[in-house]
Amino acid sequence: MPILPIIENPPKPSWKSLLTRPVIEPDGLRDTVREILEDVKAHGDPAVDKYAQRFDKTFLKERRVSQQELEEAASHLSEELKTAIRQAKKNIETYHRQQLTVEPVVETVPGIRCWRRSSAIEKVGLYIPGGTAPLFSTLLMLGVPARLAGCEEIVVCSPPQKDGSLHAAVLYTANLLGIQRVFKVGGIQAIAAMAFGTQTIPAVYKIFGPGNQYVTQAKKAIQQDGIAIDMPAGPSELAVYADDTASASFVAADLLSQCEHGSDSQVILVTDHRDFAVQVNDSLASQLEKIPRKSVAMKSLGNSKIIILDDPAVSIEFLNEYGPEHLILVCRDAEMLAEMVRNAGSVFIGNYAPESAGDYASGTNHTLPTNGFARAYGGVGVDSFVKKISFQQISREGLEAIGKTVIEMATAEGLEAHAEAVRIRLGT
């Protein structure tokens, strides 16, 4: 039996059901999350401790990571890993630095100068999942743009390991980024703590970072309380469009790299070559035997499929409807097809652009919209850590030029005092 089902030229009305994502929200999740948020909001640290004990089975006297722990982390890591983290940091910086932009002043009419200035969000919170893997790469992906933006107070929360510590690679990365406010707390209680503040964990204005369904639901919920988040999140996903110029074994390796993330991941391969589809299935079968997280990957493969579409333009239309987090294009005219992509988080072009390059070290950000949210959201960048303030400087001449317009419109909207603020200045 082939690993992935192959569906040939599905008619357009069937696309929506073909592209259904794995369901991610268990019943009652919203209520549970709201209850914990309110408890932490009302009681602070004791509530955080209560849920940490209940869910993570950890009891810690001190949640804040000490300066000593941050500094000593380097001694627990190999030179190879430290070099790798530093190279990734450098590439991420090189790429993200281009996003620091200064906008021009626009004189809309003589005497009216308008402009915007980017201003860092002063207090931000970064959530770094622990769980099955210590995601220090995510700390790089969030910490580098936060630093470049100039955020003053960067708070990091990450669930402790069984021994009550954070993984040395997470601590080393935090220290490398000059982040000092690192707390050993995870889950809903971590999001609640950063949203409302506790006796030890400072409140922030915006919270970033991936997480399981509990963390995700908590992030969505705190938006109701006016705290901003990077984006809603669902399980990670990858779509590949490949023709016969692609390597079946490379593509199979990419699909598996996505599938090892979690059992709710999803991959979609679209191709115009039936033979290629069969080759990828064969390669999946043999490569699957070699990976340590085989059982996880098997489950994600169960959410996944291969779609045959004869026309490349139709394939891109299909992929735009899906709006994948990651999209790999390995085909003729890949750059032209890339121009047609409208809904995707990050696009990888060519046989030598595996998703894992962007996950770690090519420089682009790996915090990306999942679950079709690419239709409305882009990935995290420096812009995610600033807000733009608009300014205008108006001379008497400038106000004279638009005065009549303002008075006319304000009067039509029934806002007479708005008109009066112009009249009193111009003596009209």
In the region spanning residues 13 to 52, those forming contacts with a second copy, defined by CB under 8 A, are: 30
Helices (H), 197-333: 213-222, 248-259, 274-288, 294-301, 312-322
Is 66 an interacting residue with respect to a second copy (CB under 8 A)? no
Least distance from a second copy to the Cβ atom of residue 91, Å: 4
Q: Which is nearer to a second copy, 201 or 296 (CB)?
A: 296
- Do the beta carbons of residue 136 and residue 173 sit within 8 Å? yes
Per-residue x/- track, 349-378, a second copy (CB under 8 A): xxxxxxxxxxxxxxxxx--xx-xxxxxxxx
Residues 221-240 that bind a second copy (CB under 8 A): 221, 223-224, 226-228, 232
Q: Which member of 326, 335, 339, 366 is catalytic?
A: 326
Give the amino acid at 136. F
> What number of other Cβ atoms are within 10 A of residue 395's Cβ?
12
Q: Please indicate whether residue 326 is annotated as part of the active site.
A: yes
Structure tokens belonging to residue 92? 């991420």
Is 53 an interacting residue with respect to a second copy (CB under 8 A)? no
Q: What angle do the packed helices 168-176 and 136-149 form, to 10 degrees?
A: 10
The residue behind tokens 């982040």 is: 179
- Residue selected from 22, 44, 130, 134 as contacting a second copy according to rule CB under 8 A: 134
Residues 261-280 that bind a second copy (CB under 8 A): 261
Q: Please indicate whether residue 325 is annotated as part of the active site.
A: yes
- Do the beta carbons of residue 398 and residue 407 sit within 8 Å? no
- Residue selected from 166, 297, 306, 308 as contacting a second copy according to rule CB under 8 A: 297
- Residue selected from 48, 65, 135, 193 as contacting a second copy according to rule CB under 8 A: 135
Helices (H), 19-135: 29-43, 45-51, 67-72, 79-97
SS3 label, residue 301: helix
Candidate segments 51-59, 157-165, 181-189, 343-351, binder of a second copy by CB under 8 A: 343-351
Give the amino acid at 410. A
Is the backbone of residue 89 left (phi > 0), alpha (psi -120 to 50) or beta? alpha
- Residue selected from 9, 53, 67, 132 as contacting a second copy according to rule CB under 8 A: 132
Is 186 an interacting residue with respect to a second copy (CB under 8 A)? no
Candidate segments 54-62, 66-74, 189-197, 404-412, binder of a second copy by CB under 8 A: 404-412
Q: Which member of 96, 237, 261, 325 is catalytic?
A: 325
Candidate segments 7-15, 38-46, 61-69, 419-427, binder of a second copy by CB under 8 A: 419-427
Number of residues that bind a second copy (CB under 8 A): 132
The rounded distance, in Å, linking the Cα atoms of 230 and 239 is 23
Strand 123-127, strand 153-158: pairing: parallel
Least distance from a second copy to the Cβ atom of residue 311, Å: 21
Q: Which is nearer to a second copy, 62 or 107 (CB)?
A: 107
Residues 310-339 that bind a second copy (CB under 8 A): 335, 338
Per-residue x/- track, 68-107, a second copy (CB under 8 A): ------------xx-xxx-xx--x--xx--xx-x-xx-x-
> Radius of gyration over alpha carbons of the chain, in Å?
25
> What number of other Cβ atoms are within 10 A of residue 364's Cβ?
20
Secondary-structure percent of the chain, ordered helix, strand, coil, rounded to 5: 45, 15, 35
- Do the beta carbons of residue 266 and residue 300 sit within 8 Å? yes
Is 281 an interacting residue with respect to a second copy (CB under 8 A)? no
Least distance from a second copy to the Cβ atom of residue 146, Å: 13
Is the backbone of residue 350 left (phi > 0), alpha (psi -120 to 50) or beta? left
Structure tokens belonging to residue 116? 């915007």
- Residue selected from 176, 191, 201, 259 as contacting a second copy according to rule CB under 8 A: 259
- Catalytic residues, by residue number, are 325-326
